Amino acid sequence: MRREPFRYGPAVDGIRSDDVIVVGGGVIGLTTAIVLAESGRRVRVWTRDPAERTTSAVAGALWWPYRIEPEALVGAWSLESLTVYEELAERPGQTGVRVVEGVHGETELDGLGAWAARVPGMRAATTEEYPPGTGLWARLPLIDMPVHLRWLRGRLAAAGGVVEERSVRGLAEAAARAPVVVNCSGLGARELVPDPAVRPVRGQLVVVGNPGVRTWLTSVDHTSAAPTYVFPQSDVVILGGTAEEDAWSLTPDPGVAEAIVRRCAALCPELAGARVLGHRVGLRPARDAVRLEREELPGGGTVVHNYGHGGAGVTVAWGCAREAAALAGAAAA
C-alpha cells in the first residue's frame, strides 16, 4: 500500500529538506531507497558498483534468517519481508521471486526462534523428502537475484529515485549534499563509518545446468565454513557453498568448487555430471549484530545506519528498509 507522502519546506541552495542520499546499491540500499521514494522523499542512491556487480547479485538467495543477529529483531524484519516476497512471487517473471518447496537438512522447528512458528506450513520432513535424517520441509521464497535487482532498480526509477555510480570517500561527503543520509554500504561501512566490527564472510558458489531439479535443499552446520545447498533457478542450479570468516579473495578456488559439486551431488544425485557454467564469489558483510539506528552528525545532518546483515540481507531487506525509512522520516520532520 502506498503511504501518504511526507510534507517538507522549499529548497535551500539547491538542497531540499526532503532530500535523502542512500549510500549503497545492493539489495539493502535499493529496497530502502524504494520505501523512501514511495513515501514522497527525493532519493538518490550513490553506489560504487552497478547492482549486477554487488555482493547481492551473487547471493543464492533463499529467504531464511541465516547467521544474523540480534535474534529479537531479526524475526520481525524477516517476517515482514516474507510477506512482501510472497506478493512478489505472483509475478515471478518480472520480480525474480518464486515460492519453492524444499528441505533444510539437520534442522528442527524446536531449534529455531519464535519467528518460525509464524511461517506457514513448515513441518518435519519425511524420510522420502530427506533420506539422510532429520530435516524441516518448507515452501519459501527463492529469488533469482540478477532478475530481482533489475526489477528493484525499475521500481525505484518509477518512484522518481535516481541511481548514481560514484565512489564515496566518507559519509560526510554525502551529508554535505542532503540533510539525511542512509548508510547501506555493507562491507564498505568498515571504511566509511569507519566500523572495524564489519568483516567479510566469503561465499563461493558454482552454477551448473539444471538437469531437472525443482526443489531446494540445504545441509548447514552453522559452525562449519562449508555449508551445502542446492538452489534451482529455472535452467540453472546454484550450488554452494562456503562461509569463510575474514577472507577477502574474490577469485574462485578450483579445489573448493570441486568440493562444492561433490557435496551437492551426494545430497542430490541427479546433479552428478551436471555441466558447470560458471563460478561466483561474494563477500557477505557480517557483523555481530545488524546496525540499524539513527546518528546525528557533529557538523549537522543525520545518518541512518542500515548495514551488517551478513548472509541474510535478502531475508530482512524489506523489514529493515521500512524501519530505516521511519528513522529517516523522524530525523527530517
Q: Specify binding-site residues for D-dopa.
A: 229, 284, 311
Residues of each annotated binding site: 55-56, 168, 229, 284, 310-315
Residues of each annotated binding site for FAD: 55-56, 168, 310-315
SS3 of the chain: CCCCCCCCCCCECCECCCEEEEECCCHHHHHHHHHHHHCCCEEEEEECCCHHHCHHHHCCCECCCCCCCCHHHHHHHHHHHHHHHHHHCCCHHHHCEEEEEEEEECCCHHHCCHHHHHCCCCEECCCCCCCCCCEEEEEEEEECHHHHHHHHHHHHHHCCCEEEECCCCCHHHHHCCCCEEEECCHHHHHHHCCCCCCEEEEEEEEEEECCCCCCEEEECCCCCCCCEEEEEECCEEEEECCCEECCCCCCCCHHHHHHHHHHHHHHCHHHCCCCEEEEEEEEEEECCCCEEEEEECCCCCEEEEEECCHHHHHHHHHHHHHHHHHHHHHHHC
Q: Which residue has the cell 561474494?
A: 282
Note whether 168 and 193 are within 8 A (CB): no
